[in-house]
Structure 1
Amino acid sequence: EGPVILAAFATVSLTLKLLAYLRGFNTTGWLISVLVQNFWDVRGFLIVLFVILVGFTCVFRVLIGPCPVDTMKCDVNYFQNIWVSFLSTIEMTMLASYERQVFDGSYSQLPAVLFFCLAILVVFVVSLNALITILGDSFSRVQENATANRRKELAELIVDYLSLLPERVRNRIERNTIYFHALLEADAHGDLLINKDDWQGGLNALKRDLTDLQEKNCEFTIREIERLRNDMGTDISFLREELATTLAEL
């Protein structure tokens, strides 16, 4: 049993390492970056989802678990213990896969069905749609810095490759290639052009720049209004003094 489990973990590790090597290709590098960012962004969502699933697991375990198999009109008790109940809850709420006979042998069929409908609504409808929104935002953030992310991933691959080489070979490569050069397309003013596949990132960057410009203009307008108000107050005070002096002379 031990070697089999070790082989399973080794297979997963090799798969992740193979995916890491795909970062160096233009066709797959951006996708690896998106997947990594997605896993990082959904960590809070996974915690919330886990708490919800544990709650409904306890509910179904209490309502259905203690019932014998012969009263459930099915061959297997899907809620016989907490671990099986958790797996069954995931299958019911996230995959919408269940047997109707499971509810027939519950202590109270109506509450069991109502809690099942509530679980489907919370997990399958609300939570998964929230997950789609999170993944969309994550993709937009990756696209904002798509070029920089690709270069970063490529640089990390170079470091990994160099770490496998003997020190003598690394020193020779370092002497022969001191600098990295990148040939990039630019316009007549020297500004870098955005690639077509980065249009989403460019659009988001443009929106951010417009928002910053609008905030700066608002701050400038407020300062100018305050300055004009102070100047007008000073002028009015001066006119009052002049008028008072003139009236006194008359």
Structure 2
Amino acid sequence: MKKAAFGALALTAALIAPVVQAQTSATKPTIVLVHGAFADSSSWNGVIRILERDGYPVVAAANPLRSVHGDARAVGDVLTSIPAPVVLVGHSYGGSVISEAAEGHANVKALVYVAAFAPETGETAAGLSGKFPGSTLGPALAPPVPLAGGGNDLYIQQPRFHDQFAADVPEAEAKLMAAGQRPITDVALNEASTATAWKHVPAWFVYGDKDKNIPPQALGFMAERARSRQTVVVKGASHVVMVSNPAAVAALIEKAAVAN
């Protein structure tokens, strides 16, 4: 009888455990990750592994990289589809997108800027990159690719991608990233922001002190201006700090997720 009773209890525990885990996960906010220029959603893979291990639902949104307003609408549609609270995370140009996309979405409880722009109304990504010295992105760009509808697509020259974009990532991985990079339009980088969600939604910042796309001084300026709840500067990290240091980035996202 004792064996049977123990077996029944064990079976009950085994059946209940998945339900408890699901309930625990359901109480956590959904993390929505928005990639930036010259990258795609796979740039978040290391961060996603950690967040999902820790029980967070994660959506890596596809950023069209066509225009700030259009991209923000696309991400906004994703936010509308999620009934739960959201921590909205943007990398690089994705910071401009999340600053606009969060407007009008009350479920966004926190913003996390990962080596990302946090523009004031009227500012552009290109303008913020040049606000302080240190960016070497311009000379590293390939000749523009003209688009049939007007404007140009911009890429980083593949031979220069590793040093410019991902210097602290293994060379073999950087080569794959260079070949698969997503272009951004010149229109997007020069389009002025019209919304500043960081003024009323709590914000966190993380970036590397060896960023060659956005000068660290510019990133620090934007973090201070946005009254960052916490700013993490990763020593030696490149522009893709989420690829080279996923644990540091995931840890900050989780802090934002549990903050009041």
Q: TM-score over 0.5 for the alignment?
A: no
Q: Which structure features the higher share of helix residues?
A: 1
Q: TM-score interval w.r.t. the shorter chain?
A: under 0.3
Which structure has the larger Rg over C-alpha atoms?
1
Q: TM-score, normalised by structure 2?
A: 0.24
Q: TM-score, normalised by structure 1?
A: 0.24
Higher relative contact order (CA 8 A, sep 6+): 2
